[in-house]
Structure 1
């Protein structure tokens, strides 16, 4: 299905979600990135740029979008040189137009040039995720559906990518395998040995072993699995790869006995119809695993010795 043109991002709702990042894991990510990108320093700048040269550069938006990673951009610049001055002109979670100045950087030219690529890589990817999320959120506006991410994130960057989803107005699913129970099709196949009659009994036995605060979700891919799963008293039932009519029927069948999540076949062309079925959650792997970096650039305004 052809996806619609990009919507007006400024119209996307912005729920009150936490738009802060813990400093320790961000620093760890940045340290790994610079160890990879400049293990022995930036030999090009050391060769060509005098040590006392200074530069001022502007982070420019070449396309419209929603910003995420402004503070990460700043931290990358200042990890290379704590004396680098970074003025953030647009806050994380804010929509911007093409041509907007998002941040201004001033410092030694060598430091700015060494930090440039790592800082840009992260803010470009995070802003792409935020922008895509805002498009999905706007298309679900007026329904009860919450747009969430999945665990389909870049290894080592999950905390940044999930922050970017929040910047776009979306919400986060479970952070890791350690946070909640989510029994998917392969779990159920192994558990039941192919005998669906065992499903309720086995889920009840599993639930009895959980603490009372642990969320229990089960994925189903057929309508006839819904009642046996609901009989186990699960918290959320995921309807995977259901058609829109099937989702409507599934929501009616659940009838408030559990939270309903839709997953699979979700794109910008289908999300509005999926949201209109009455589901509570729509999980979208594409928010993080198929985005292309947003076109942001760092342009030097002034270099002086």
Structure 2
């Protein structure tokens, strides 16, 4: 590893560059092309993948594994002990995939119990001052806006969009491509493809713009998106309670998007889950 002043661009020569003021433990594992900025702190159990850029004053503490080409912006703190009174010093982890952008002063806590992880997938954007609690599991291509507080054990599906300055209760599941409006209170599960807003949060309908942008609207001549709308109407606009409506649509020949929605809700109303948010009736 060589020491050099941090530049505004990632190294192009494959060398690892560490600013002279950074504190990097000799036991840390840094792949080729990693760049460590001024006053950053990297602990002994940290592994950083190729081409990742660690900004000024970032703290990587505990067992942290970063994949390739991640960008960690100034002041972020990743891998600190969980804010959980049950934590007893177990060697838990934070595992982060590739191509993520973690903005200024984001905090990501490691898991609570031995053998557990806080996990983030690939291509996600966590905006400034957002917090990800212990044991959270995030998929891919998620956007979390500024000032979002995500409590422990939350699961967020691929391509979800989380609006700014909102709170997500512990153990809540957020489905794929859900969209949560800013300043909402999310205390129960959010189904896939749903739009949610309010305090407390309520389902407002399907994320039609997100569905269109994803390309789902073009599949099978639009049949998949149409069926998703029909299933949603049966579940949330019909007279039957949700459990009975799920039994009805389960008998249909479901395309993958509708199957994703139905399977999520079946699990959500099952034991050990918080149950889905209610819909706002017209």
Say which structure, 1 or 2, has more relative contact order (CA 8 Å, 6+ apart).
1
More helix by share: 1
Same fold (TM over 0.5): no
More strand by share: 2
